[in-house]
Amino acid sequence: MSTFRTLAAAIAVAGATLAGAAAHAQQIVKIGYAVSRDSHYGAGADAFCDTLEKGSANRFKCSQAPNATLGNEREMVESAQIGSLDVAFVSSGTVGNFVPDIRVLDVPFLFRDTEHARAVLDGAVGQKLLAAFPSKGLIAMAWGENGFRHLTTSRREIRAPGDLANIKLRTMENRVHVESFRALGALPTPMAWPEVYTALQQGTIDGQENPLSILVTAKLWQVQKHLALTSHVYSPTLLIASPALWAKLNAADRQLFLNAAKAGAAAQRERVTREAQTAVALLEKEGMSITRPDTADFRKALAPTFKKFEAQFGPDIAAIQRVQ
């Protein structure tokens, strides 16, 4: 009898130990983004993962998938919606196809400078936009940053709107961007980012537009001759979580993810700020010609299109312009 009791007790202890281990089993969190690990996306993802792993005592462990290995940005957002990807780190320009409210952020020349843009996103307007995501099958945890977008071309320098005439310009799959560049006389060509470098190399398109950090990371000086510093659109990023993942988290773990997302966004902003201070000199050193167009000419050319955007996004545009 004594031996039986001892065996039963051992089994009970072992069962409890296994149950406890299962309750604290490590969960792998898949995080995808479209550019290289050595980029501001990678810097943000590293900070996100480091904060999440340390905060959870390694109950959560990240598995990063850079370079669009899990699909382009649209595909990664779709994967997050259906639960096959846990976290997508993507540009807001792509996400507007899923959450139309955030398209207001793509209106050209809407933000005065980086400080204005960050104040908007970190304040009431930005939080209101994040709150629109759950109804579209997504969880938006934090705003990160790409920076202000600029134009590059291979055919000619861009100094005025007329220089964009008949330029085949890659844009994101974003209606606001397409309408704006069409109004400027370009031939907007929506294209997923992983296809862009080859298209520029082969001459399928003449140019593209992106923040300085992306130009440097992708070494676009190898396939583009001219850079116009237009700062025409401010481009935020988003750390998006899958609703399937979110539903499994308790309140404390959700807060861990939100804290990690804030850390990731802060690291990304810091990297963008740092790279912007040296990017132009680097691109010029690598052989790109640099122009600094008078954006007043571009604003004037876009005035009729801006009126259309005001009709669509009026209250949000006004709220953004009021932020100091």
For residue 25, name the pLDDT band (cuts at 50, 70, 90).
confident
CA distance 98 to 79: 12
The fold of the 25-322 domain, in CATH, is: D-Maltodextrin-Binding Protein; domain 2 (3.40.190)
Per-residue model confidence as pLDDT tens digits over 261-301 = 999 999 999 999 999 999 999 999 999 999 999 999 999 99
CA distance 91 to 27: 26
- CA distances to 56, 239, 256 from 259, in Å: 11, 12, 5
**With a threshold of 0.75, does the pTM exceed it?**
yes
CA distance 67 to 218: 11
Per-residue model confidence as pLDDT tens digits over 180-230 = 999 999 999 999 999 999 999 999 999 999 999 999 999 999 999 999 999
Q: What are phi and psi of 207, to 5 degrees?
A: -160, -175
- CA distances to 32, 91, 98, 109, 126 from 117, in Å: 25, 15, 22, 11, 10
- CA distances to 10, 95, 183, 185 from 15, in Å: 9, 46, 69, 71
Q: Is the pLDDT of residue 4 over 90?
A: no
CA distance 44 to 83: 22
